[in-house]
Amino acid sequence: MEMHFDQHISRQFNEDLESIKTEMLEMGGMVARQVADAVDALANADSELAEKVLHIEEEIDRREMALDEHATLIIAKRQPAASDLRMVLSVTRIARDLERIGDEASKIAKMAIALTDEGTSPRGYTEIRHIANAVRKMLNDALDAYTRFDVASAMATLAEDEQVDMDYRTAVRELITYMMEDPRSISRVINVLWSLRSLERIGDHAKNICEQVVYLVEGADIRHGHEKNLKNF
Amino acid sequence: MEMHFDQHISRQFNEDLESIKTEMLEMGGMVARQVADAVDALANADSELAEKVLHIEEEIDRREMALDEHATLIIAKRQPAASDLRMVLSVTRIARDLERIGDEASKIAKMAIALTDEGTSPRGYTEIRHIANAVRKMLNDALDAYTRFDVASAMATLAEDEQVDMDYRTAVRELITYMMEDPRSISRVINVLWSLRSLERIGDHAKNICEQVVYLVEGADIRHGHEKNLKNF
Protein backbone atom coordinates (compact mmCIF):
# COMPACT_ATOMS: atom_id res chain seq x y z
CA MET A 1 0.00 0.00 0.00
CA GLU A 2 1.30 3.42 -1.00
CA MET A 3 1.37 6.09 1.66
CA HIS A 4 1.18 9.78 0.90
CA PHE A 5 4.09 10.98 2.97
CA ASP A 6 4.62 14.66 3.70
CA GLN A 7 0.98 15.48 3.09
CA HIS A 8 -0.97 15.61 6.29
CA ILE A 9 -3.85 13.19 6.29
CA SER A 10 -6.03 15.38 8.42
CA ARG A 11 -6.41 18.73 10.03
CA GLN A 12 -6.33 16.84 13.33
CA PHE A 13 -2.78 15.80 12.57
CA ASN A 14 -1.71 19.40 11.95
CA GLU A 15 -3.26 20.32 15.27
CA ASP A 16 -1.38 17.47 16.97
CA LEU A 17 1.92 18.76 15.62
CA GLU A 18 1.16 22.34 16.66
CA SER A 19 0.08 21.13 20.06
CA ILE A 20 3.32 19.31 20.98
CA LYS A 21 5.34 22.19 19.59
CA THR A 22 3.42 24.57 21.86
CA GLU A 23 3.86 22.22 24.85
CA MET A 24 7.60 22.20 24.23
CA LEU A 25 7.88 25.97 23.85
CA GLU A 26 5.90 26.50 27.06
CA MET A 27 8.28 24.13 28.80
CA GLY A 28 11.13 26.19 27.29
CA GLY A 29 9.72 29.37 28.79
CA MET A 30 9.45 27.74 32.22
CA VAL A 31 12.99 26.42 32.04
CA ALA A 32 14.42 29.79 30.95
CA ARG A 33 12.69 31.33 34.00
CA GLN A 34 14.21 28.59 36.22
CA VAL A 35 17.72 29.42 35.05
CA ALA A 36 17.18 33.15 35.66
CA ASP A 37 15.74 32.53 39.14
CA ALA A 38 18.48 30.07 40.12
CA VAL A 39 21.19 32.56 39.17
CA ASP A 40 19.41 35.37 41.03
CA ALA A 41 19.03 33.12 44.08
CA LEU A 42 22.76 32.43 43.99
CA ALA A 43 23.83 36.04 43.43
CA ASN A 44 21.54 37.39 46.17
CA ALA A 45 21.85 34.46 48.63
CA ASP A 46 18.06 34.19 48.36
CA SER A 47 17.18 30.73 49.67
CA GLU A 48 13.45 31.37 49.33
CA LEU A 49 13.79 31.90 45.58
CA ALA A 50 16.06 28.83 45.42
CA GLU A 51 13.37 26.71 47.10
CA LYS A 52 10.88 27.93 44.50
CA VAL A 53 13.22 26.74 41.73
CA LEU A 54 13.45 23.28 43.34
CA HIS A 55 9.68 23.13 43.69
CA ILE A 56 9.01 23.99 40.03
CA GLU A 57 11.49 21.34 38.83
CA GLU A 58 8.85 18.67 39.51
CA GLU A 59 6.39 20.44 37.22
CA ILE A 60 9.01 20.53 34.45
CA ASP A 61 9.71 16.80 34.86
CA ARG A 62 5.99 16.09 34.71
CA ARG A 63 5.67 18.13 31.53
CA GLU A 64 8.52 16.30 29.82
CA MET A 65 6.88 12.95 30.59
CA ALA A 66 3.49 14.17 29.32
CA LEU A 67 5.10 15.51 26.15
CA ASP A 68 6.92 12.22 25.53
CA GLU A 69 3.70 10.28 25.94
CA HIS A 70 1.87 12.68 23.65
CA ALA A 71 4.59 12.39 20.98
CA THR A 72 4.59 8.58 21.16
CA LEU A 73 0.82 8.54 20.72
CA ILE A 74 1.10 10.82 17.69
CA ILE A 75 3.70 8.55 16.08
CA ALA A 76 1.65 5.43 16.77
CA LYS A 77 -1.67 6.87 15.60
CA ARG A 78 -0.69 9.16 12.74
CA GLN A 79 2.42 7.36 11.53
CA PRO A 80 4.13 10.52 10.33
CA ALA A 81 6.88 10.30 7.75
CA ALA A 82 9.80 12.47 6.70
CA SER A 83 9.55 16.08 7.88
CA ASP A 84 6.54 15.43 10.13
CA LEU A 85 8.38 12.66 11.91
CA ARG A 86 11.40 14.93 12.27
CA MET A 87 9.14 17.53 13.88
CA VAL A 88 7.83 15.05 16.46
CA LEU A 89 11.29 13.63 17.19
CA SER A 90 12.96 17.04 17.43
CA VAL A 91 10.32 18.21 19.92
CA THR A 92 10.94 15.22 22.22
CA ARG A 93 14.70 15.62 21.96
CA ILE A 94 14.49 19.33 22.78
CA ALA A 95 12.17 18.53 25.70
CA ARG A 96 14.85 16.20 27.05
CA ASP A 97 17.47 18.95 26.82
CA LEU A 98 15.06 21.36 28.52
CA GLU A 99 14.54 18.89 31.33
CA ARG A 100 18.31 18.59 31.75
CA ILE A 101 18.62 22.38 31.82
CA GLY A 102 15.99 22.36 34.57
CA ASP A 103 18.14 19.83 36.46
CA GLU A 104 21.16 22.12 36.20
CA ALA A 105 19.07 25.09 37.40
CA SER A 106 18.09 22.99 40.42
CA LYS A 107 21.73 22.20 41.11
CA ILE A 108 22.51 25.92 41.06
CA ALA A 109 19.55 26.51 43.40
CA LYS A 110 20.96 23.90 45.82
CA MET A 111 24.32 25.68 45.75
CA ALA A 112 22.48 28.95 46.51
CA ILE A 113 20.94 27.30 49.59
CA ALA A 114 24.33 25.91 50.67
CA LEU A 115 25.86 29.38 50.33
CA THR A 116 23.04 30.96 52.34
CA ASP A 117 23.78 28.44 55.08
CA GLU A 118 27.56 28.64 55.22
CA GLY A 119 28.10 32.24 54.17
CA THR A 120 28.40 33.65 50.67
CA SER A 121 31.51 33.10 48.61
CA PRO A 122 34.09 35.90 48.55
CA ARG A 123 34.58 35.39 44.81
CA GLY A 124 33.10 34.21 41.56
CA TYR A 125 29.81 36.10 41.30
CA THR A 126 31.01 38.34 38.47
CA GLU A 127 31.94 35.25 36.45
CA ILE A 128 28.60 33.60 37.31
CA ARG A 129 26.70 36.67 36.07
CA HIS A 130 28.75 36.92 32.91
CA ILE A 131 28.43 33.24 31.91
CA ALA A 132 24.78 33.11 33.04
CA ASN A 133 23.91 36.02 30.74
CA ALA A 134 25.65 34.29 27.83
CA VAL A 135 23.90 30.92 28.27
CA ARG A 136 20.51 32.51 28.94
CA LYS A 137 20.85 34.39 25.66
CA MET A 138 21.86 31.13 23.92
CA LEU A 139 18.82 29.32 25.31
CA ASN A 140 16.38 32.07 24.33
CA ASP A 141 17.90 32.40 20.86
CA ALA A 142 17.83 28.61 20.36
CA LEU A 143 14.11 28.39 21.20
CA ASP A 144 13.46 31.44 19.05
CA ALA A 145 15.32 29.83 16.12
CA TYR A 146 13.14 26.74 16.58
CA THR A 147 9.95 28.81 16.49
CA ARG A 148 11.02 30.51 13.28
CA PHE A 149 12.68 27.40 11.71
CA ASP A 150 15.70 29.66 11.35
CA VAL A 151 18.78 27.59 10.52
CA ALA A 152 21.14 30.57 10.11
CA SER A 153 20.25 31.88 13.55
CA ALA A 154 20.60 28.37 15.03
CA MET A 155 24.09 28.05 13.54
CA ALA A 156 25.10 31.48 14.90
CA THR A 157 23.79 30.64 18.38
CA LEU A 158 25.48 27.25 18.34
CA ALA A 159 28.83 28.93 17.63
CA GLU A 160 28.53 31.02 20.82
CA ASP A 161 29.11 27.92 22.93
CA GLU A 162 32.84 28.06 22.19
CA GLN A 163 33.20 31.45 23.89
CA VAL A 164 31.18 30.20 26.87
CA ASP A 165 33.52 27.22 27.23
CA MET A 166 36.56 29.51 27.10
CA ASP A 167 35.13 31.91 29.68
CA TYR A 168 34.23 28.96 31.89
CA ARG A 169 37.78 27.59 31.81
CA THR A 170 39.26 31.01 32.56
CA ALA A 171 36.89 31.45 35.52
CA VAL A 172 37.78 28.01 36.94
CA ARG A 173 41.50 28.78 36.74
CA GLU A 174 41.04 32.12 38.52
CA LEU A 175 38.94 30.57 41.29
CA ILE A 176 41.48 27.80 41.86
CA THR A 177 44.23 30.42 42.24
CA TYR A 178 42.02 32.32 44.66
CA MET A 179 41.36 29.21 46.79
CA MET A 180 45.08 28.55 47.03
CA GLU A 181 45.62 32.07 48.35
CA ASP A 182 42.75 31.81 50.83
CA PRO A 183 42.14 28.16 51.82
CA ARG A 184 39.42 29.15 54.30
CA SER A 185 37.29 30.09 51.29
CA ILE A 186 37.49 26.64 49.67
CA SER A 187 34.19 25.08 50.65
CA ARG A 188 32.29 28.24 49.66
CA VAL A 189 34.16 28.81 46.39
CA ILE A 190 33.63 25.13 45.44
CA ASN A 191 29.89 25.82 45.39
CA VAL A 192 30.53 28.64 42.94
CA LEU A 193 32.65 26.28 40.83
CA TRP A 194 29.85 23.68 40.67
CA SER A 195 27.42 26.43 39.66
CA LEU A 196 29.73 27.59 36.89
CA ARG A 197 29.94 24.03 35.63
CA SER A 198 26.14 23.79 35.60
CA LEU A 199 25.96 26.98 33.55
CA GLU A 200 28.51 25.62 31.11
CA ARG A 201 26.30 22.52 30.74
CA ILE A 202 23.27 24.68 30.08
CA GLY A 203 25.25 26.18 27.19
CA ASP A 204 25.85 22.64 25.87
CA HIS A 205 22.14 21.86 26.03
CA ALA A 206 21.26 25.14 24.25
CA LYS A 207 23.72 24.06 21.57
CA ASN A 208 21.89 20.71 21.30
CA ILE A 209 18.62 22.58 20.75
CA CYS A 210 20.22 24.53 17.89
CA GLU A 211 21.34 21.24 16.34
CA GLN A 212 17.73 20.03 16.45
CA VAL A 213 16.62 23.15 14.55
CA VAL A 214 19.05 22.19 11.77
CA TYR A 215 17.89 18.56 11.91
CA LEU A 216 14.25 19.63 11.70
CA VAL A 217 14.64 22.07 8.82
CA GLU A 218 17.41 20.47 6.78
CA GLY A 219 17.15 16.83 7.82
CA ALA A 220 20.89 16.89 8.54
CA ASP A 221 22.44 15.58 11.75
CA ILE A 222 25.24 18.03 12.59
CA ARG A 223 25.95 16.83 16.13
CA HIS A 224 29.50 16.20 17.30
CA GLY A 225 31.04 18.63 14.82
CA HIS A 226 29.46 17.02 11.74
CA GLU A 227 28.64 20.40 10.16
CA LYS A 228 29.68 18.94 6.81
CA ASN A 229 26.35 17.06 6.82
CA LEU A 230 24.74 20.44 6.24
CA LYS A 231 25.41 21.05 2.58
CA ASN A 232 24.22 24.66 2.29
CA PHE A 233 26.66 26.10 4.82
CA MET B 1 8.72 -11.65 32.57
CA GLU B 2 6.91 -12.55 29.35
CA MET B 3 7.00 -10.07 26.47
CA HIS B 4 3.99 -9.85 24.20
CA PHE B 5 5.12 -7.90 21.20
CA ASP B 6 2.60 -7.09 18.51
CA GLN B 7 2.51 -9.47 15.57
CA HIS B 8 5.09 -8.12 13.21
CA ILE B 9 4.04 -7.53 9.65
CA SER B 10 7.15 -9.03 8.21
CA ARG B 11 10.26 -10.96 9.00
CA GLN B 12 12.17 -7.94 7.69
CA PHE B 13 10.66 -5.82 10.43
CA ASN B 14 11.77 -8.29 13.10
CA GLU B 15 15.23 -8.15 11.66
CA ASP B 16 15.15 -4.33 11.75
CA LEU B 17 14.25 -4.38 15.44
CA GLU B 18 16.93 -6.94 16.26
CA SER B 19 19.44 -4.96 14.28
CA ILE B 20 19.04 -1.63 16.13
CA LYS B 21 18.97 -3.49 19.43
CA THR B 22 22.29 -5.12 18.52
CA GLU B 23 23.73 -1.78 17.40
CA MET B 24 22.80 -0.27 20.76
CA LEU B 25 24.22 -3.17 22.78
CA GLU B 26 27.48 -3.01 20.83
CA MET B 27 27.63 0.69 21.58
CA GLY B 28 26.98 -0.20 25.23
CA GLY B 29 29.95 -2.56 25.26
CA MET B 30 32.21 0.12 23.79
CA VAL B 31 31.05 2.71 26.29
CA ALA B 32 31.54 0.34 29.26
CA ARG B 33 35.11 -0.22 28.00
CA GLN B 34 35.61 3.57 27.75
CA VAL B 35 34.61 4.07 31.38
CA ALA B 36 36.95 1.29 32.54
CA ASP B 37 39.86 2.68 30.48
CA ALA B 38 39.27 6.27 31.61
CA VAL B 39 39.33 5.24 35.27
CA ASP B 40 42.47 3.13 34.74
CA ALA B 41 44.13 6.04 32.94
CA LEU B 42 43.32 8.28 35.89
CA ALA B 43 44.42 5.83 38.57
CA ASN B 44 47.70 4.99 36.78
CA ALA B 45 48.44 8.47 35.38
CA ASP B 46 48.48 6.76 31.97
CA SER B 47 48.08 9.56 29.42
CA GLU B 48 48.49 7.18 26.49
CA LEU B 49 45.40 5.20 27.56
CA ALA B 50 43.60 8.51 28.17
CA GLU B 51 44.34 9.61 24.60
CA LYS B 52 42.90 6.34 23.35
CA VAL B 53 39.66 7.05 25.24
CA LEU B 54 39.42 10.49 23.64
CA HIS B 55 40.04 9.00 20.22
CA ILE B 56 37.32 6.34 20.53
CA GLU B 57 34.75 8.93 21.67
CA GLU B 58 34.37 10.01 18.03
CA GLU B 59 33.45 6.48 17.03
CA ILE B 60 30.78 6.35 19.76
CA ASP B 61 29.32 9.68 18.60
CA ARG B 62 29.25 8.38 15.03
CA ARG B 63 27.45 5.24 16.14
CA GLU B 64 24.80 7.17 18.04
CA MET B 65 24.08 9.26 14.96
CA ALA B 66 23.88 6.15 12.74
CA LEU B 67 21.56 4.44 15.21
CA ASP B 68 19.29 7.48 15.37
CA GLU B 69 19.06 7.61 11.60
CA HIS B 70 18.37 3.89 11.43
CA ALA B 71 15.62 4.16 14.07
CA THR B 72 13.99 7.10 12.28
CA LEU B 73 13.98 5.12 9.02
CA ILE B 74 12.36 2.15 10.76
CA ILE B 75 9.61 4.34 12.22
CA ALA B 76 8.95 6.01 8.87
CA LYS B 77 8.96 2.80 6.83
CA ARG B 78 7.44 0.23 9.16
CA GLN B 79 5.17 2.47 11.20
CA PRO B 80 5.44 0.37 14.35
CA ALA B 81 2.76 0.59 17.00
CA ALA B 82 2.61 -0.02 20.76
CA SER B 83 5.40 -2.27 22.04
CA ASP B 84 7.37 -2.21 18.76
CA LEU B 85 7.42 1.56 18.82
CA ARG B 86 8.51 1.46 22.45
CA MET B 87 11.37 -0.82 21.44
CA VAL B 88 12.59 1.61 18.79
CA LEU B 89 12.20 4.65 21.04
CA SER B 90 13.85 2.98 24.04
CA VAL B 91 16.85 2.01 21.92
CA THR B 92 17.38 5.61 20.74
CA ARG B 93 16.95 6.97 24.26
CA ILE B 94 19.44 4.47 25.67
CA ALA B 95 21.87 5.30 22.86
CA ARG B 96 21.66 8.93 23.92
CA ASP B 97 22.49 8.00 27.53
CA LEU B 98 25.36 5.85 26.29
CA GLU B 99 26.73 8.75 24.28
CA ARG B 100 26.55 10.95 27.39
CA ILE B 101 28.37 8.28 29.39
CA GLY B 102 31.05 8.32 26.68
CA ASP B 103 31.27 12.12 27.14
CA GLU B 104 31.81 11.70 30.87
CA ALA B 105 34.47 9.04 30.23
CA SER B 106 36.24 11.54 27.97
CA LYS B 107 36.08 14.17 30.69
CA ILE B 108 37.71 11.72 33.10
CA ALA B 109 40.35 10.97 30.45
CA LYS B 110 41.09 14.71 30.14
CA MET B 111 41.53 14.89 33.92
CA ALA B 112 43.92 11.94 33.67
CA ILE B 113 45.99 13.87 31.15
CA ALA B 114 45.94 17.01 33.32
CA LEU B 115 47.12 14.94 36.30
CA THR B 116 49.91 13.37 34.26
CA ASP B 117 51.06 16.89 33.35
CA GLU B 118 50.89 18.59 36.73
CA GLY B 119 51.62 15.66 39.03
CA THR B 120 49.20 13.10 40.45
CA SER B 121 46.79 14.03 43.20
CA PRO B 122 47.78 13.12 46.77
CA ARG B 123 44.22 11.99 47.52
CA GLY B 124 40.98 10.66 46.13
CA TYR B 125 41.97 7.57 44.15
CA THR B 126 40.42 5.15 46.64
CA GLU B 127 37.11 7.00 46.32
CA ILE B 128 37.44 7.08 42.51
CA ARG B 129 37.99 3.31 42.42
CA HIS B 130 35.12 2.63 44.79
CA ILE B 131 32.55 4.77 42.98
CA ALA B 132 33.86 3.69 39.56
CA ASN B 133 33.29 0.03 40.46
CA ALA B 134 29.76 0.80 41.61
CA VAL B 135 28.74 2.72 38.48
CA ARG B 136 30.43 0.25 36.13
CA LYS B 137 28.41 -2.52 37.75
CA MET B 138 25.25 -0.41 37.41
CA LEU B 139 25.92 0.17 33.70
CA ASN B 140 26.60 -3.50 32.97
CA ASP B 141 23.56 -4.63 34.96
CA ALA B 142 21.35 -2.06 33.23
CA LEU B 143 22.36 -3.25 29.75
CA ASP B 144 21.98 -6.85 30.88
CA ALA B 145 18.48 -6.12 32.22
CA TYR B 146 17.64 -4.62 28.82
CA THR B 147 18.88 -7.71 26.97
CA ARG B 148 16.74 -9.97 29.16
CA PHE B 149 13.72 -7.60 29.42
CA ASP B 150 14.19 -8.03 33.16
CA VAL B 151 12.16 -5.38 35.03
CA ALA B 152 12.97 -6.70 38.53
CA SER B 153 16.69 -6.51 37.83
CA ALA B 154 16.29 -3.03 36.31
CA MET B 155 14.46 -1.84 39.45
CA ALA B 156 17.18 -3.31 41.71
CA THR B 157 19.95 -1.68 39.66
CA LEU B 158 18.13 1.65 39.60
CA ALA B 159 17.97 1.64 43.40
CA GLU B 160 21.77 1.39 43.65
CA ASP B 161 22.11 4.96 42.42
CA GLU B 162 21.13 6.29 45.85
CA GLN B 163 24.18 4.70 47.49
CA VAL B 164 26.41 6.05 44.71
CA ASP B 165 25.08 9.56 45.34
CA MET B 166 25.73 9.19 49.07
CA ASP B 167 29.27 7.90 48.55
CA TYR B 168 29.89 10.72 46.10
CA ARG B 169 28.81 13.39 48.58
CA THR B 170 30.95 11.86 51.35
CA ALA B 171 33.99 11.77 49.05
CA VAL B 172 33.51 15.42 48.04
CA ARG B 173 33.31 16.52 51.67
CA GLU B 174 36.49 14.61 52.55
CA LEU B 175 38.40 16.04 49.60
CA ILE B 176 37.33 19.60 50.47
CA THR B 177 38.62 19.09 54.02
CA TYR B 178 41.86 17.73 52.64
CA MET B 179 42.35 20.72 50.31
CA MET B 180 41.85 23.11 53.22
CA GLU B 181 44.61 21.31 55.13
CA ASP B 182 46.95 21.29 52.13
CA PRO B 183 46.17 24.21 49.79
CA ARG B 184 49.09 23.34 47.50
CA SER B 185 47.11 20.22 46.51
CA ILE B 186 44.05 22.19 45.35
CA SER B 187 44.53 22.27 41.58
CA ARG B 188 45.34 18.54 41.51
CA VAL B 189 42.54 17.48 43.88
CA ILE B 190 40.03 19.57 41.87
CA ASN B 191 40.71 17.26 38.91
CA VAL B 192 39.80 14.29 41.12
CA LEU B 193 36.63 16.12 42.21
CA TRP B 194 35.58 16.68 38.57
CA SER B 195 36.23 13.00 37.85
CA LEU B 196 34.11 11.93 40.81
CA ARG B 197 31.32 14.14 39.52
CA SER B 198 31.56 12.51 36.08
CA LEU B 199 31.29 9.08 37.70
CA GLU B 200 28.24 10.19 39.66
CA ARG B 201 26.68 11.32 36.35
CA ILE B 202 27.45 7.96 34.79
CA GLY B 203 25.42 6.42 37.61
CA ASP B 204 22.53 8.76 36.71
CA HIS B 205 22.69 7.67 33.07
CA ALA B 206 22.76 3.98 34.07
CA LYS B 207 19.65 4.71 36.11
CA ASN B 208 18.02 6.24 33.01
CA ILE B 209 18.76 3.03 31.09
CA CYS B 210 17.01 1.01 33.81
CA GLU B 211 13.99 3.29 33.49
CA GLN B 212 13.89 2.54 29.76
CA VAL B 213 13.79 -1.21 30.50
CA VAL B 214 10.67 -0.61 32.59
CA TYR B 215 9.21 1.62 29.87
CA LEU B 216 9.89 -1.00 27.21
CA VAL B 217 8.46 -3.98 29.08
CA GLU B 218 5.66 -2.38 31.08
CA GLY B 219 4.89 0.70 29.01
CA ALA B 220 5.18 2.76 32.20
CA ASP B 221 7.21 5.96 32.50
CA ILE B 222 8.82 5.83 35.95
CA ARG B 223 11.28 8.69 35.52
CA HIS B 224 11.64 11.39 38.17
CA GLY B 225 10.46 9.13 40.99
CA HIS B 226 7.16 8.18 39.31
CA GLU B 227 7.44 4.53 40.36
CA LYS B 228 3.71 4.59 41.09
CA ASN B 229 3.18 4.43 37.30
CA LEU B 230 4.42 0.86 37.55
CA LYS B 231 1.42 -0.96 38.95
CA ASN B 232 3.01 -4.38 39.58
CA PHE B 233 5.65 -3.15 42.03
Name the residue with higher pLDDT: B119 or A207.
A207
Q: Note the pLDDT tens digit of each residue in B33-72.
A: 999 999 999 999 999 999 999 999 999 999 998 998 899 8
Residue A201 CA to residue A58 CA, distance in Å, equals 20
Give yes or no for B89 touching A (CB within 8 A): yes
B85, amino acid identity: L
Q: Note the pLDDT tens digit of each residue in A149-208.
A: 999 999 999 999 999 999 999 999 999 999 999 999 999 999 999 999 999 999 999 999
What's the whole-number mean pLDDT along residues A68-91? 86
Query: Which one of 3.30.70.1730, 1.10.1040.20, 3.40.50.300, 1.20.58.220 gives the CATH number of domain A11-229?
Result: 1.20.58.220
Of B65, B86, B187, the CB nearest to A176: B187
Task: Name, in order, each residue with C-beta under 8 angstroms of A178's C-beta and a sequence gap of 6 or more.
Answer: A122, A123, A185, A189
pLDDT band at A8 (very low <50, low <70, confident <90, very high): low
Residues B88, B71 contacting (CB under 8 angstroms): yes
pLDDT band at B232 (very low <50, low <70, confident <90, very high): low
Question: Is there a contact between B176 and A183 if contact means CB atoms under 8 Å apart?
Answer: no
Question: Is there a contact between B58 and A82 if contact means CB atoms under 8 Å apart?
Answer: no
Provide the shortest C-alpha distance from residue B129 to chain A (in Å).
Answer: 22
Query: How confident is the model at residue B2, as a pLDDT?
Result: 43
Candidates B13, B74, B78, B79, partner chain A, best to mutate (most A CBs within 10 A): B79
Of B76, B89, B176, the CB nearest to A72: B89
Domain ranges of chain B: 11-229
Give the residue from chain B lying closest to A71, CA to CA: B89
Residue A166 CA to residue A169 CA, distance in Å, equals 5
Question: Is there a contact between B68 and A221 if contact means CB atoms under 8 Å apart?
Answer: yes
pLDDT band at B230 (very low <50, low <70, confident <90, very high): confident
Helices and strands in chain B: count of H runs, count of E runs: 6, 0
Residue B98 CA to residue B201 CA, distance in Å, equals 12
**pLDDT at residue A32 greater than cutoff 90:** yes
SS3 sequence, A126-181? HHHHHHHHHHHHHHHHHHHHHHCCCHHHHHHHHHCHHHHHHHHHHHHHHHHHHHHH
Query: How confident is the model at residue A3, as a pLDDT?
Result: 40
The CB density around residue B183, as the number of other CB atoms within 10 Å, is 16
Give the residue from chain A lying closest to B223, CA to CA: A65
Give ∠ CA A38-A163-B198 in degrees, rounded to 5.
60
pLDDT band at A225 (very low <50, low <70, confident <90, very high): confident
Residue B54 CA to residue B52 CA, distance in Å, equals 5
